[in-house]
Structure 1
Amino acid sequence: MSQPKNGFRIHDKSSAPEASTPILEKVEKGFGFIPNVLGVTAESPAALEAYVTLNQILQTKTALSPEEQQVVLLAVSRHNGCGYCVAAHTASGERTGLDAGVIQALREDRNLPDPSLDAVATLCRTFIDKKGWLDESDIQAFLDAGHTRQKLLDVIVGLSMKTISNYINHIADTPLDTPLQPKALDKAS
């Protein structure tokens, strides 16, 4: 397996800072292994806790459906050019039951066949492109697609979570875990 770049390493429970160890134990229990991105993130207990906490909040406290959550995570990752997270959320989207056509469109950074989900993906791209400075028309398009202001704010939770891992992967060039390699972006686009 290749190694991260810029002096980063993939930590396990024995090499991680002490404050990261209990979080890695929970991650390993949930996934059955420690994904490379979280092994790299473990270098900073604060970054690891922030990512894992935002993930938990996204899954359990937002108004976004599991499919909408995956659209946010995959749209943000693709638009930010994070191949690691695109592969990871392709797999997550498949497990969630996200339509294969929706997944493929997200991987190709194009409009989705489902108008409601497309509004979610478009909002994510617009947030990134406009650095959060949405126009009234951007917000209204999201609302007109049947979404709420609560969901708009909940999208920011997912965008924040993905910004953490996307940027970490960018600076560390995190290698894909073996189970994710078939989902690598260059396999589909």
Structure 2
Amino acid sequence: MSRLSVPDLESDAGPSGQVHAQIKKTIGSVPNTFAAVAAHGPAALRAMLAADTPLAAGSLGKSDKEVIKLVISEAASCDYCVAAHSYLANLAGLKPDVLEQILEGQPTGDARRDALVGFVRKLARTSGTVSDEDFAAIKAAGYSDAQLVEISLAFATTVFTNVFNRINDTELDFPAVA
């Protein structure tokens, strides 16, 4: 059970209920992490969702965005986010064996994806400090300057949910990852 209580937001006409209703209308259900943030900080959830808007319109593919979020979540040991982003990465076309390779730090056989995984893992381990060699490697893999901005934004929004879920011990509503 999560640490923060989440009241029934279905009939809440206030800011929390409005955010809850908007998410439910958009994606059909409200993940537990969004429900908890909406219940206690609707403005924070709106800000988080607004920060994801440029990512949706950006040039990174869905699978790249989920790989970024998965790698960061694994580095933060956020079981909730690892489960969520594994599920979403699978929906974006990544096969379970590839997800397992990513989580185990093994090569996936896709040089561009492996460069992204290595770069994001380095960002997570070094609080964003990368060497000239790390920068050259991600650029050599074909990632543009604009995509480096998108990688940074995906990193930042994921850290928020990782930290929140670790504080809340958010109950899983996605398939658990072993």
Q: TM-score, with normalisation over the residues of structure 2?
A: 0.90
Q: Bigger CA drift: 132-141 or 19-28?
A: 19-28
Q: In the alignment, which of 151, 155, 162 is matched to residue 158 of structure 2?
A: 162
Structure 1 partner of 2:110: 114
Partner SS state of residue 81, structure 1: coil
Cα 1:140–1:167 change in 2 (3 A) is same
Aligned length: 177
Q: Greater shift after overlay, 102-111 or 133-142?
A: 102-111
1:124 aligns with 2:116: no
- Output the CA distance in 1 between the equivalents of 2:120 and 2:127: 10
Distance 1:143 1:176, change over 3 A: same
Aligned ranges for residues 47-66 of structure 1 at < 5 Å? 47-60=44-57, 62-66=58-62
Q: Which amino acid aligns with 2:177?
A: L
The RMSD of aligned alpha carbons is 1.9
Cα distance 1:41–1:147, how it changes in 2: closer, same or farther (>3 A)? same
Q: Is the 8 A contact 2:10 2:21 kept in 1?
A: no
**Matches of 1:69 and 1:139, distance apart in 2:** 18
Match of 1:185 in 2: 177
Deviation at 1:24, TM superposition (A): 1.5
Q: Which runs of 5+ in 1 are unaligned?
A: none
Aligned letter for 1:37?
A: T
- Aligned-residue offset at 1:155: 0.3
TM superposition outliers: structure 1 runs of 4+ over 4 Å: 14-17
The answer for unaligned runs of 5 or more in structure 2 is none
| Percentage of matched positions with identical amino acids | 27
- CA 1:137/1:73 → structure 2, altered by over 3 Å: closer, same or farther? same
Match of 1:4 in 2: 2
